[in-house]
Amino acid sequence: MNERPGRLYLVGTPVGNLEDLSARAARVLGEVDLIAAEDTRRTRRLLAHLDLHTPLISYHQHSPAGRVDEILRRVEAGEDVAVVTDAGMPGISDPGWRLVAEAVSRGLTVVPVPGPSALTLALSASGLPTRSFVFDGFLPRRQGPRRRRLAELARLGVTVVVYESPHRAIETLGDVAEVLDDPEVVLCRELTKVHEEFIRGRAREVLEVLEARKSADGRLKGEMTLVIGVTSPSPGQPTPPAG
């Protein structure tokens, strides 16, 4: 057992461009006893790029029920463990927060190691108001709940940021246009990567761009973050039920 208590490190990893990994993050990934990774295959590629050989264990939303305890027992025994997600900061719209919450409840030391986040990258480059905003992770997959959630968010009167799958981007933009009366939006695609792109305009204008691309090659590609300008629900939209 180590002389000092173990620590749980939350290490931010590149969203796309590997040059965005900080020197501190690289050092921590090389010094810890174990890395808990959302996708061990992707993390192995990152470690290979750094010429590191730190042991890995998987930790994601489908991990066995005892995986949190398994990881934290090692921290309690004096080992240092780093948590990484596929891209960006762990714990932001991913299951890492459960591991952190349990670590805090056990009185363990949690150390954040800053890194890129698609949320802040998209918001800062959007050109939309940033003084107040709300981040809502991924919107509901089904149209009814998604539209109700959009109406609820609009009533906050601030910029809204959400992550979106390329498989649902067209449907989501259609709902944004209809429910929120066609607001200004910025669709951020492939952030920090070679084909980084910001598609700006009214929701219906951005929707037309995506529909044209889908018609051309059959599908949309690239991880997406959607920034929605300050707006209010369309007058024709009913007030969502409370609760």
- pLDDT tens for residues 47-96? 999 999 999 999 998 899 899 999 999 999 999 999 999 899 998 888 88
Can you give the pLDDT at residue 234?
63
**Residue that terminates a domain, selected from 61, 89, 113:** 113
> Does 136 fall in a domain?
yes
Q: Which residues contact 186 (CB under 8 A, 6 or more apart)?
A: 122, 125, 126, 127, 128, 198, 199, 200, 226, 227
pTM comes to 0.87
Same domain, yes or no, for 109 and 126? no
Q: Which CATH number belongs to the domain containing residue 160 in this structure?
A: 3.30.950.10
Same domain, yes or no, for 222 and 137? yes
When divided into structural domains, the chain yields a total of 2
Same domain, yes or no, for 147 and 72? no
Q: Which residues contact 93 (CB under 8 A, 6 or more apart)?
A: 135, 137, 138, 163
- 78-102 in b/e form (b: 16+ CB < 10 A) is ebbbbbbbbbbbbbbbbbbeebbee
> Does 235 fall in a domain?
no
Cα separation of 166 and 225, whole Å?
A: 10
Same domain, yes or no, for 162 and 83? no
Can you give the pLDDT at residue 236?
59
User: Average model confidence (pLDDT) for the chain?
Assistant: 92
pLDDT in tens, the chain (243 residues): 456 789 999 999 999 999 999 999 999 999 999 999 999 999 999 999 999 999 999 999 889 989 999 999 999 999 999 999 989 999 888 888 999 999 999 999 999 999 999 999 999 999 999 999 999 999 999 999 999 999 999 999 999 999 999 999 999 999 999 999 999 999 999 999 999 999 999 999 999 999 999 877 777 888 899 999 987 666 655 554 444
Same domain, yes or no, for 102 and 172? no
**Residue that terminates a domain, selected from 92, 113, 134:** 113
Can you give the pLDDT at residue 93?
82
Same domain, yes or no, for 131 and 206? yes
Same domain, yes or no, for 211 and 191? yes
Structural domain boundaries, residue 64 = 7-113
